């Protein structure tokens, strides 16, 4: 297949290329798109080198699928143009996620909804992806009533400049800052900008996207998203109340049977998921499973995943694999 990667020089775009190669996606030819200043540069893929081109040139080359990771404004402007040319777009930005006419897909959860007439497909927010993957088998069995989630998110979720800020601060160097405060040896309780209701856009993404993916607008959800000085993955503390009761043995079994989930839950041996476990892995890791003793039919869980892989690039490539 001829595949386009839009935003090929960014953290997620680079990871998309890596994941395509690792999963032996049948790439015959790559069409790489990035910002105007990057046009003409070469990027290696396998034993070949490909030259970064403009959107216009990419559309003329008519790839079958375009993986977008270039921001919402770019997606809003260009995704419809690619789609109109018969190019299927899988978009990693937030631009199309809540569009009623677009599918919001985590393949293991709702990939069955995809059809040949879906020309713009939305990739969910990284924090949402790992949470709904863990919740899906439990929602099917017990039906989720309410979720309280707090996230602990890697600087890689902001981009390469955020990683550089952390490394500069750690080394005692001056440099460009993308966060309003020091991130090294600190925790910033803000991911994305604040909205009128006092929540950040990231927090509201988790609310709205979770309901859409699980297909249940009645689920009560409240989120607090936090940036921490970590490279490698996002972590989440999730408290979930169900309509039906459960046993801990059943919960373990259902999570272990869920594709894409690895259960790491042996607290007596200090075995539980951490970002260093998830780094450069495609699975979502779940542990610290325990009943909430303060509320009936309620479970506590700890969920960790590599936000650049399953939280972005791998999920997009998995969607593309549905069309091979």
Among this protein's residues, is 112 annotated catalytic? no
Residues 161 and 197 in one domain: yes
Whether the per-residue pLDDT at 129 is higher than 90: the answer is: yes
Asked if residue 274 has pLDDT above 90, the reply is yes
Query: In terms of domains, do 174 and 296 share one?
Result: yes
Does residue 224 contact residue 147 with C-beta atoms inside 8 Å?
no
Q: What is the pLDDT of residue 232?
A: 86
Is the pTM higher than 0.75? The answer reads: yes
CB 222 within 8 A of CB 150: no
Instruction: Quote the pLDDT of residue 8.
Output: 96
Q: What share of the chain in percent tops pLDDT 70?
A: 100
Residues 157 and 99 in one domain: no
Are both 223 and 296 inside the same structural domain?
yes
pLDDT at residue 177, rounded to an integer: 96
Judged against a pLDDT cut of 90, whether residue 292 lies above it is answered with yes
First to last CA, the chain: 8
**What is the reported pLDDT for 108?**
98
The pLDDT score that the predictor gives to residue 188 is 98
- Give me the CATH number covering residue 258: 3.30.360.10
CATH number for the domain that contains residue 16:
3.40.50.720
For residue range 76-128, list pLDDT tens digits in order: 999 999 999 999 999 999 999 999 999 999 999 999 999 999 999 999 999 99
Annotated catalytic residue, options 53, 126, 139, 279: 126
Please count the structural domains in the chain.
2
pLDDT for residue 226: 98
CB 300, CB 293: distance < 8 Å: no
Domain housing 192: 127-308
Q: Are residues 42 and 133 in the same domain?
A: no
Same domain for 275 and 145?
yes
Taking the C-alpha atoms of residue 293 and residue 259, their distance in angstroms, rounded to an integer, is 29
Which residue among 55, 139, 234, 279 is the active-site one?
A: 234
**Which of 31-35, 46-50, 212-216, 223-227 bottoms out in mean pLDDT, i.e. has the lowest?**
46-50
172, pLDDT greater than 90: yes
Q: What is the pLDDT of residue 264?
A: 98
Q: What is the 3-state secondary structure (H, E, C) of the chain?
A: CEEEEECCCCHHHHHHHHHHHHCCCCCCEEEEECCHHHCCCEEEECCEEEEEECHHHHHHCCCCEEEECCCHHHHHHHHHHHHHCCCEEEECCCCCCCCCCCEECCHHHHHHHCCCCCCEEECCCHHHHHHHHHHHHHHHHHCEEEEEEEEEECHHHCCHHHHHHHHHHHHCCCCCCCCCCCCCCCCECCCCCECCCCCEHHHHHHHHHHHHHHCCCCCEEEEEEEECCCCCCEEEEEEEEECCCCCHHHHHHHHHCCCCEEECCEHHHCECCCHHHHCCCCCEEEEEEEECCCCCCEEEEEEEECCCHHHHHHHHHHHHHCCC
What is the number of other CB atoms lying within 10 angstroms of the CB of residue 278? Answer: 28
| 132 in the same domain as 119 | no
* pLDDT score of 47: 87
| Catalytic (active site) residue 53 | no
């Amino acid at each position: 297949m001829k595949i386009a990667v839009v935003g090929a020089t960014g953290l997620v775009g680079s990871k998309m290329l890596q994941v395509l190669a690792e999963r032996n996606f049948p790439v015959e030819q790559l069409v790489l798109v990035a910002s105007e200043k990057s046009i003409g540069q070469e990027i290696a893929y396998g034993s070949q080198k490909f030259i970064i081109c403009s959107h216009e040139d990419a559309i003329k080359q008519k790839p079958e699928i375009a993986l977008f990771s270039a921001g919402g404004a770019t997606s809003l402007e260009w995704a419809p143009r690619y789609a109109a040319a018969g190019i299927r777009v899988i978009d990693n930005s937030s631009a199309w996620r809540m569009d009623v006419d677009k599918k919001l897909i985590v393949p293991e959860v709702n990939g069955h909804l995809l059809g040949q007439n879906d020309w713009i497909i939305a990739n969910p927010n990284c924090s949402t992806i790992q949470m709904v993957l863990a919740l899906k088998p439990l929602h099917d069995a017990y039906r989720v009533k309410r979720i309280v989630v707090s996230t602990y998110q890697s600087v890689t979720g902001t981009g390469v400049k955020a990683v550089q800020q952390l490394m500069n601060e750690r080394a005692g160097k001056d440099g460009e800052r993308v966060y309003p405060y020091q991130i090294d040896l600190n925790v910033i309780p803000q991911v994305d900008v604040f909205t009128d209701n006092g929540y950040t856009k990231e927090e509201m993404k988790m609310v709205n996207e979770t309901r859409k993916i699980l297909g249940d607008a009645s689920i009560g959800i409240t989120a607090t998203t936090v940036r921490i000085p970590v490279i490698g993955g996002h972590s989440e503390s999730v408290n979930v109340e169900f309509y039906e009761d459960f046993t801990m043995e059943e919960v373990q079994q259902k999570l272990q049977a869920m594709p894409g989930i690895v259960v790491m839950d042996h607290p007596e041996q200090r075995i539980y998921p951490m970002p260093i476990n998830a780094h450069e892995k495609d699975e979502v890791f779940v542990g610290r499973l325990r009943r909430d003793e303060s509320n009936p039919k309620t479970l506590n869980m700890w969920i960790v995943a590599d936000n650049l892989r399953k939280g972005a690039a791998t999920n997009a490539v998995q969607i593309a694999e549905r069309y091979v």
